[in-house]
Structure 1
Amino acid sequence: MTSSKPGDDARTEIIHDVDYPLDVPNSSGPGSRPGTADSATTAFPAAGRTDNTQFAEPGGYDTSTPLPFGEQPATIAPSRRDEISRRGTTDFGLFILRLVVGALLAMRGLQKLFGLFGGPGIDGFAQTLTDSGFEQARILAITGGALELVAGIMLIVGLATPIAAAGLFALVGVGIAIRLTSSDPLPLLGDTTRGLETSVLYAAALLALLFAGPGRWSADRRWRWSHRPRFSGVIWLLLAVIVAGVLWYLLNGTNPLVSTTDSAPVTAG
């Protein structure tokens, strides 16, 4: 409000009597009345708006752009399914385990098939199966030796690792059963001769590969079972046990838990 006395040129009195309200516009929420102090809000008017009676000139704060420290999205975009997180030296350790176990079992297959490395050959292995009570011993000798050789190489390469590990586990299990049912069963730890500890170590290593996967250093690196096996290990283990049990029951018929001197053969049909 500006006032002056007409005719008085020597003195001009300017009085600024502007009653400014609060720095913020009133809210129109329920229960609030315009002009009251309890109806104030902290909202800023949008830039360029002049329809607010509290602001006589255009301007204000631009609310169209969010603040950098405002509310952020609560979700995180999922990573690609084919991405494999770093696992330190786990893949290298699995590679060493595959290499050693696969190479040794492949060499055992060469012993059975061709008599290499001081092995018995097909005839000697077939005779061992015959003495253990197996029928069709020669066919079993060729099949077992070929499976041990091929599955051992597959284990080294890391190709179809659950299948290779399950097949080798079945062969090792049959070998343990043969030693347990022989006339002179081997103990777990022998005093002067080798016991069953080597076969048990083979079985444990194959089970570890079956449930841990071959790792990224393998031909199976693009498959889920190479780094995150779930049900594949259980499925192939059950299949291996069932096949080995059926073959033992049909072609041998003895109780694999006790020796032949303590248990009579069980008829297969």
Structure 2
Amino acid sequence: MSDKNQNPDRAGSYDADGLDVPTYRQDAPAADQPAGSTAASARPSGGNDATTQFPETSGTAATTGAFGRTGRAEPQEIPPAQPSAPSAQPTYADQDFAAPGGSTAYETFAYDRAQEQPTTVAPAPGPASAPVAPAPAPVATAPVDEADVRDHRRGTIDFGLFIIRLMLGLWLILEAVGTFFRLGGNPGLSGLEADYSGYLAPEGLAIVIPSLQLAAGVFLVLGLITPVFAMLATIATSFTALHELTTSGAGIDVFAWPESVWLSLVLLGSSLALQFTGPGFVSLDYGRSWARRPLLSSWLFVLLAIAGGVALWWFGAGINPLA
């Protein structure tokens, strides 16, 4: 084609196996343009230059042309794209590709299983969060024996309780041993029986009182089963204090009381004090609750000691101490 020829060459008979190829001119259709060609000005406005709208064919042209061959598809009309703004590209939203129903789960089918058995795959988790440091494992500690716990704020209390126990216990032991074996000028059981001669059962009292003194004295010195033997010491000293007060004849005049009455009262008060304070840690009862915080046992055994002293006076001496 020469430079002077502004119209495209018409296809010859040798092109496209003897078929006419539609041609067009940019400005206007040529005079010799064959039927079926489309001019550029006749194209719909707003269309894409790369898209050509093929005219519908009918009759013999549709069956004898290139598209009339066996296996060839019918010509389809390609609609022009109409963007919302010039040179704007179509945009897509995520919901255009979302699964029906708004679900994010996906179903997959295995080839070796029936299609009726879908396998639901959970959606992939979101971005991994920062790793959380595991909690430290608890450190196993050996059980603490409460008996081994020492309260250092107690100071010298335990040592003071040991001295009280030692003095009271030694006095009870020496008094009982002197009575049984007549040591230190003690008249022994016969002399004690003579002292109790005015009571209902002097022989029994002469054996019961020193026996209570000896048992209570030994266990108080050791600090063993302290509530029980402090109770026995309270019974013995209370009987001795009442006996001394009765035989003195002083009555309720405290200034006329002899030293034997005051000594018996001091011993009675010491046994009651040990009942409420406990033996302390300097004892064989250091692991017991009454060695640290005596409460219920103290009141219980004090009531038993009072009941025992009343019973001893009632049945041993034949005197009602409550009268």
TMscore range, shorter length: 0.5 to 0.7
Q: Please tell me whether the aligned partners of residues 162 and 210 of structure 1 are also in contact (alpha carbons under 8 angstroms).
A: yes
State the partner residue of 1:3. none
Per the TM alignment, residue 144 of structure 1 is displaced from its structure 2 partner at its CA by: 1.1
> What residue in structure 1 maps to residue 270 of structure 2?
205
Once residues 90 and 188 of structure 1 are traced to their aligned partners in structure 2, the CA distance between those partners, rounded to angstroms, is 35
Shift of residue 181, structure 1, vs aligned partner: 2.4
User: Equivalent residues in 2 for 1:164-243 (5 A)?
Assistant: 164-182=229-247, 184-185=249-250, 193-194=258-259, 196-243=261-308
Q: Is the 8 A contact 1:105 1:149 kept in 2?
A: yes
TM-score relative to the length of structure 2:
0.53
Q: State how 1:16-55 maps to structure 2 within 5 Å.
A: 51=126
Q: Who is 2:39 aligned against? A: none
Higher RCO, 1 or 2 (CA under 8 Å, sep at least 6)?
A: 1
1:181–1:255 Cα contact (<8 Å) kept: no
Q: Equivalent of 2:191, from 124, 134, 141?
A: 124
CA 212–193 in structure 1, closer or farther in 2 if over 3 Å, else same: closer
In structure 2, the CA distance between the partners of 1:192 and 1:51, relative to structure 1 (3 Å rule), is closer
Asked if 2 retains the 8 angstrom alpha-carbon contact of 1:126 and 1:138, the reply is yes
Seen in structure 2, the aligned counterparts of structure 1 residues 127 and 99 have a Cα distance that, compared at 3 Å, is same
Matched AA of 1:197: W
Q: Which residue of 1 aligns with 2:140?
A: none
Q: CA deviation at 1:113?
A: 1.8
Give the C-alpha shift of residue 79 in structure 1.
Answer: 6.0
CA distance in 2: counterparts of 1:154 and 1:93, whole angstroms: 17
CA distance in 2 between partners of 1:92 and 1:198 (Å): 23
Q: Which runs of 4+ in 1 moved over 3 A?
A: 60-66, 78-83, 185-193, 255-258
Structure showing greater Rg? 2
Q: Counterparts of 1:66-145 in structure 2 under 5 Å?
A: 80-86=145-151, 87-130=154-197, 133-145=198-210
Q: In 2, distance between residues paired with 1:201 and 1:62?
A: 74
Deviations 1:166-194 (A, max 9, x none): 11111111112112322623777556952
Over 3 Å counting, the alpha-carbon distance change for 1:101 and 1:256 in structure 2 is same
Amino-acid identity (%): 32
Shift of 1:91: 1.3
Superposition CA RMSD, Å: 3.1
Q: Deviations over 1:143-174 (max 9, x none)?
A: 21122112101110111111111111111111
Task: Give unpaired runs (5+ residues) of structure 2.
Answer: 1-124, 137-142
Q: Distance in 1 between matches of 2:247 and 2:322?
A: 11
Deviations 1:175-216 (A, max 9, x none): 121123226237775569525222221111111111111111
Flag structure 1 segments of 5+ consecutive residues without an equivalent. 1-49, 53-57, 69-77, 259-269
Q: Is the 8 A contact 1:188 1:195 kept in 2?
A: no
1:254 equivalenced with 2:323 (yes/no): no
Q: Say if 1:162 and 1:238 are closer, same or farther in 2 by CA, change over 3 A.
A: same
Task: Say if 1:106 and 1:149, in contact at 8 Å, map to a contact too.
Answer: yes
Alignment-mate amino acid for residue 213 of structure 2: E
Q: Go from structure 1 to structure 2 and tell me whether the alpha carbon gap of 1:111 and 1:211 turns closer, same or farther (over 3 Å shift).
A: same
C-alpha distance in 1 between matches for 2:292 and 2:187 = 38
**Secondary structure in 2 aligned to 1:85?**
coil
